[in-house]
Structure 1
């Protein structure tokens, strides 16, 4: 009987507590009601990141070329390699300088290339050294072009890039010793072994012309100079790069004045001055890879390139 009374009391207390809790819960929901409404959210279209690719078009480039390999302090001769290159990037074009016949053309890309005497079908003769290089990197091509029709344009351009290269050198089994310097070949081999089968940082610049025949196809012809550093000395490389950027900036100011006074001459002046500066700097870097700082000579590639770009 006592247990029955205790059970009745427990049920009454539990019921009362439940009613109070429900009332408090209802009050809490009324006080803190949070109406989730998608209309209160901002338009998701505002949540976008451009990365400089707004209104740009995907593009794929295939290029083939002839190359010359050298290093300033290496006496041995190299077998001239050929080049095969693949680029993947984005192209952006717009009218420039308030004209209907001049366009600004930009192409940002990643690339992969192989330079090898196997592509040229050449074999070493005498003491010549064979090479096989794979490289990958990123670059930017820009220039001002002339519209020749509804879709046709001609674009003189300047391009630059950074890359990482892996070079495999193959030496002859039988040597012809130079009596005037019998250890010359051994010295060359010691230098080249610093590059052999290891990734090395490098830079490149290129000048050329793009011919846009129809809206989706461009033909490319260019001359590229690239160097591969013996080792990457960041601060000296950065100092040399700052000098180049400052010089390019001064040219940009001068070129802008040319466009303001004679827009038709602007694309040609831009092409000549930009590439002349790049050529001169790469000549200075043949002996000092981070000119004007005292550094080692780089391995250099000079390349004539021809190809086609598909724009989507």
Structure 2
């Protein structure tokens, strides 16, 4: 499966690049004029707002509270991890606007800072003395973005994808066989990343119900250049996929949110699966500590 993901990502980079070259060479002056003038169809304003004003203009303050279930893992750890539960608080800004010139299509962006606590104590799980217990505090920055459908004047459903950059401090209680590996993390702040996808249901203008699945990794060491190279490859693949999704919106506006949700999250999860073996895939690196998390909660918009 991981070989398949690698082939898909590589093919996406190659074929989209070739497609850009062929498309550019075949443009007439009239076609270029049409592209620039048709702002709503290609949603240039959306791209400018998202990429260059950091999402804060015409945004509304928001607070999110989440509760969730998690599963920890690392390939070379002998013992079993006790499954922790989590509590999470987010403070940020939400911006919602019409998408692609359609009154009943919505584009939502949410940028925030967050703090989370994950612990088997929150789950109330009893251990047999052989399992690995943990408590973790995490702080980070999150960006999520998604398309959806208006259901009424003040209600909508949003299908989103996003990522985080974060720092985690884990306190382990573990049997001696795993001492050397887990000491790489124990009671130290470690850099990490995550990708996630989910659904938000806007009930009224000031309240949203959220459900999401997040895949996170914690690096035992932050090797900047390898991490940066891996991140650039993922960002390039996501960017090329965005262009393909924009073309789907052009052809079929109302299929766009669902197609975007499926493709963006499939790519995010595929990259995460590849990084389970090599934390800085495709570069040679160690396995990371991983978290799979299902979260649900409330977002209050002011």
Alignment equivalent of 1:238, drawn from 208, 225, 228: 228
CA RMSD of aligned residues (A): 1.2
Q: Given the alignment of the two structures, is residue 62 of structure 1 paired with residue 65 of structure 2, yes or no?
A: yes
Alignment equivalent of 1:121, drawn from 119, 124, 132: 124
Instruction: State TM-score, norm by structure 2.
Output: 0.81
1:235-266 Cα distance to aligned partner (Å, 9 max, x none): 00000000000100110010000000000000
The change in CA–CA distance for 1:50 and 1:239 in structure 2 (over 3 A counts) is closer
Q: Given the alignment of the two structures, is residue 269 of structure 1 paired with residue 259 of structure 2, yes or no?
A: yes
Match of 2:187 in 1: 197
Match of 1:297 in 2: 287
Take 2:236 and 2:162, find their aligned partners in 1: how far apart are those partners? 16
Take 2:246 and 2:174, find their aligned partners in 1: how far apart are those partners? 51
User: After TM superposition, what 4+ stretches of structure 1 lie above 6 angstroms from structure 2?
Assistant: none
Take 2:53 and 2:272, find their aligned partners in 1: how far apart are those partners? 34
Displacement of 1:98 in angstroms is 1.1
Displacement of 1:123 in angstroms is 2.5
More helix by share: 2
Instruction: State TM-score, norm by structure 1.
Output: 0.79
Match of 2:210 in 1: 220
Secondary structure of residue in 2 paired with 1:274: helix
User: Any unmatched runs of 5+ in structure 2?
Assistant: 1-51
Partners of 2:137 and 2:169 within 8 A in 1:
yes
1:33-89 Cα distance to aligned partner (Å, 9 max, x none): xxxxxxxxxxxxxxxx96541110000000000000000111210100001000000
Alignment equivalent of 1:109, drawn from 109, 112, 116: 112
Take 2:186 and 2:198, find their aligned partners in 1: how far apart are those partners? 31
Q: Given the alignment of the two structures, is residue 142 of structure 1 paired with residue 142 of structure 2, yes or no?
A: no
Q: Given the alignment of the two structures, is residue 308 of structure 1 paired with residue 291 of structure 2, yes or no?
A: no
Match of 2:25 in 1: none
Take 1:125 and 1:202, find their aligned partners in 2: how far apart are those partners? 30
Partners of 2:166 and 2:192 within 8 A in 1:
yes
Secondary structure of residue in 1 paired with 2:276: coil
Secondary structure of residue in 1 paired with 2:194: strand
Partners of 1:123 and 1:130 within 8 A in 2:
no
Aligned residue-pair number: 251
Take 2:54 and 2:210, find their aligned partners in 1: how far apart are those partners? 26
Partners of 1:136 and 1:165 within 8 A in 2:
yes
Displacement of 1:126 in angstroms is 4.1
Match of 1:161 in 2: 164
Secondary structure of residue in 1 paired with 2:114: strand
Partners of 2:65 and 2:90 within 8 A in 1:
yes
Q: Given the alignment of the two structures, is residue 252 of structure 1 paired with residue 238 of structure 2, yes or no?
A: no
Partners of 2:55 and 2:95 within 8 A in 1:
no
